[in-house]
Amino acid sequence: MAVPILKQGPFLIASIQSALTDTDVLQLRDDVMAQVTRHRSRGIIVDVTSLDVMDSFVSRSLQGIARMTRLRGAETVIVGIQPEVAFAMVQLGMSFEDVQTALDLEEGLALLGA
Amino acid sequence: MAEATEARDDLLRELVAHLRDNRTELRQEWARRIGEAQLLTALTEEEIFSEATSVYDNYVEVLETGSVEALRGYARNLSERIIPRGVETDEVLGIVLLLRDVLSRSLFKKYPDDFNRVLDVYEPAANRIANTVAINFVTERERVIRQQQEAIRELSTPVLQVRERLLILPIIGVLDGQRARQLTEQLLRGIRTNRARVVVIDITGVPAIDSTVANHLVQTVDASRLMGASVIITGLSSEIAQTLVTLGVDLSKVNAVGDLQGGIEEAERLLGYTVISGTAPEKTEDRT
């Protein structure tokens, strides 16, 4: 299922609704990059609240998106990581060192200075 | 074969009758021996005597019926009452073995020529009784210990909100892998419920840390960050600091402050609070 990307002023909001296949993740990456270019966005929020598992491919891809958008001048914030997911991620050694994270959408927007 | 069983049953009946007839003396003798052996010192003499009576009656009943059901219930109940008083396993086992001794002596005196037959009838039941009492006591003890462990675990990891969006997690006592893990889970849930942005973990009350626990702390810091909260660790004693450095745990990502006060001040700074000492209360009253 494709991830809808909403434009909110200078920001983009990608809200993941259900578990993602690898193709979905790559599609999300391409869509985000295209939209950032089109709208000249300053920040992107990826909301993963509804994910109760996050495998290493998804984690790595999200990290990739964050790094790529930074090169286009847009900051990415991952929001809504669930406690269990956070714990599993650090145990897998995926601690998103260079990616911004926030509790939820509201916090993410605040972090981007909306 | 049937005859032998019958003879056994007859003898058993006789033994039980003998024990019933001499209930008072044997009970007193037993209580005296308990006192002599300095067992059950946590209980008063009257208590010992009344428990001794119940145990005695149960004992004779088991001999008679061969069923340990009632005794099991009583043993459990007795353990429940005496464990909080500090009665030890060896004492409980000791008094049951004493009773066995007292009763065998009395039986042997009555049947000086029939040792073997008496033993055949009496021993298996006596063994079963000792077994039942001991097992029930130990089981009950283990249950109490488990319950207490559970309680300590629950009590020892409170996640407290000090200010809007600021949590503190004081850790007291020894940290092991399991407790550290549970703590992390509790903290992460706390972050979500309280919408925390800063967490102060105070480990002043932790006497020592090994590399597993240290790495777990680092994981806690990382996981909290994934949920959008930054972590400040306070109260790392100089011994622990030394251990961590010697172990080579990578703490470059950990924000550490000397004591809890400093940690809370740092957290307030991160959250944009400024603490201003206000007007003294009596002056406010003047104004109204």
Q: What average pLDDT is seen over chain B? A: 84
Confidence at residue B230, expressed as pLDDT on a 0 to 100 scale = 92
**Residue B243 structural domain:** 160-271
Nearest CA in chain A to B196: A103
Residue B85 DSSP class: G
Model confidence at B1: pLDDT above 70: no
Query: pLDDT (tens digit, 9 = 90+) per residue, B176-231?
Result: 888 888 889 889 999 999 999 999 999 988 888 888 888 888 889 999 999 999 99
Confidence at residue B238, expressed as pLDDT on a 0 to 100 scale = 84
Q: Is residue B129 one of the residues assigned to a domain?
A: yes
Residues B99 and B216 in one domain: no
Residue ranges for chain A with pLDDT beneath 50: none
Residue A54 near residue A96, CB atoms below 8 Å: no
Confidence at residue A62, expressed as pLDDT on a 0 to 100 scale = 92
Nearest CA in chain B to A105: B228
Domain covering A5-112 in this structure, CATH number? 3.30.750.24
Residues B189 and B222 in one domain: yes
Confidence at residue B207, expressed as pLDDT on a 0 to 100 scale = 84
Q: Is residue B119 one of the residues assigned to a domain?
A: yes
Residues B100 and B133 in one domain: yes
Confidence at residue B288, expressed as pLDDT on a 0 to 100 scale = 47
Two tokens at B6? 């019958």
- Name the 3-class secondary structure at B134: helix
Query: pLDDT (tens digit, 9 = 90+) per residue, B91-118?
Result: 888 888 888 888 888 888 888 887 788 8
Q: Where are the beta strands (DSSP E) in chain B?
A: 160-163, 166-172, 198-205, 230-234, 255-257
Model confidence at B281: pLDDT above 80: no
CA A76/CA A70 separation, integer angstroms: 7
Give the total number of structural domains in chain B. Answer: 2
Mutate to test the interface with B, among A54, A58, A95, A98 (most CBs of B within 10 A): A95
Contacts of A92 in chain B (CB under 8 A): none
Confidence at residue B264, expressed as pLDDT on a 0 to 100 scale = 92
> What CATH number is given to the structural domain containing B88?
1.10.490
Query: pLDDT (tens digit, 9 = 90+) per residue, B123-136?
Result: 888 888 888 888 88
B18-47 burial: b if 16+ Cβ within 10 Å, else e: bbeeeeeebbebbbebbeeeebbeebeeee
Residues B6 and B145 in one domain: yes
Confidence at residue A105, expressed as pLDDT on a 0 to 100 scale = 93
Confidence at residue B156, expressed as pLDDT on a 0 to 100 scale = 66
Inter-axis angle of helices B238-247 and B211-226, nearest 10: 90
Query: pLDDT (tens digit, 9 = 90+) per residue, A98-109?
Result: 899 999 999 999
Residues B96 and B124 in one domain: yes
Residues B176 and B107 in one domain: no
Model confidence at B50: pLDDT above 80: yes
What ipTM, to 2 d.p.? 0.80
Contacts of B251 in chain A (CB under 8 A): none
Confidence at residue B56, expressed as pLDDT on a 0 to 100 scale = 84
Q: Is residue B145 one of the residues assigned to a domain?
A: yes
Contacts of B220 in chain A (CB under 8 A): 90
Confidence at residue B57, expressed as pLDDT on a 0 to 100 scale = 85
Confidence at residue B80, expressed as pLDDT on a 0 to 100 scale = 84
Confidence at residue B55, expressed as pLDDT on a 0 to 100 scale = 83
Two tokens at B89? 């396993």
- Pairwise CB contact (< 8 Å): B192 & A102: no
Model confidence at B53: pLDDT above 50: yes
Q: Is residue B36 one of the residues assigned to a domain?
A: yes
Residues B12 and B149 in one domain: yes
Confidence at residue B232, expressed as pLDDT on a 0 to 100 scale = 94
Q: Is residue B277 one of the residues assigned to a domain?
A: no
Task: Give the Å distances, CA to CA, from B97 to B73, B151, B166, B236, B280.
Answer: 19, 35, 60, 53, 72
Nearest to A101 among B184, B196, B225 (CB): B225
Residues B124 and B235 in one domain: no
Model confidence at B66: pLDDT above 80: no
Neighbours of B177 (CB within 10 A): 12
Confidence at residue B17, expressed as pLDDT on a 0 to 100 scale = 86
Q: Is residue B278 one of the residues assigned to a domain?
A: no
Q: Is residue B284 one of the residues assigned to a domain?
A: no
Model confidence at B284: pLDDT above 60: no
Residues B239 and B99 in one domain: no
Query: pLDDT (tens digit, 9 = 90+) per residue, B218-240?
Result: 889 999 999 999 999 999 888 88
Torsion of CA A63, A64, A69, A71, to 10 degrees: 110
Residues B103 and B210 in one domain: no
Confidence at residue B285, expressed as pLDDT on a 0 to 100 scale = 53
Confidence at residue A65, expressed as pLDDT on a 0 to 100 scale = 92
Residues B146 and B164 in one domain: no
Is B246 or A14 the better-scoring residue by pLDDT?
Answer: A14
Query: pLDDT (tens digit, 9 = 90+) per residue, B254-276?
Result: 888 989 999 999 999 999 988 88
- Residue B16, Cβ density class (10 Å: 0-12 exposed, 13-18 middle, ≥19 buried): middle
CB contact A76 to B (< 8 Å): no
- Pairwise CB contact (< 8 Å): A103 & B225: no
Average pLDDT over residues B127-151: 86
B264-273: which pairs have CB atoms within 8 A and are 24 or more residues apart? Answer: B264/B162, B264/B166, B264/B168, B264/B200, B266/B232, B267/B166, B267/B198, B267/B200, B267/B232, B268/B163, B268/B166, B270/B197, B270/B198, B270/B230, B271/B163, B271/B164, B271/B165, B271/B166, B271/B197, B271/B198, B273/B163
Average pLDDT over residues B151-170: 84
- Pairwise CB contact (< 8 Å): A87 & B188: yes
Nearest to B188 among A78, A86, A97 (CB): A86
- Pairwise CB contact (< 8 Å): A81 & B226: yes
Nearest to B222 among A82, A84, A95 (CB): A95
> What CATH number is given to the structural domain containing B186?
3.30.750.24
Nearest to A83 among B195, B222, B227 (CB): B227
Confidence at residue B197, expressed as pLDDT on a 0 to 100 scale = 93
Contacts of B229 in chain A (CB under 8 A): 103
- Residue B52, Cβ density class (10 Å: 0-12 exposed, 13-18 middle, ≥19 buried): buried
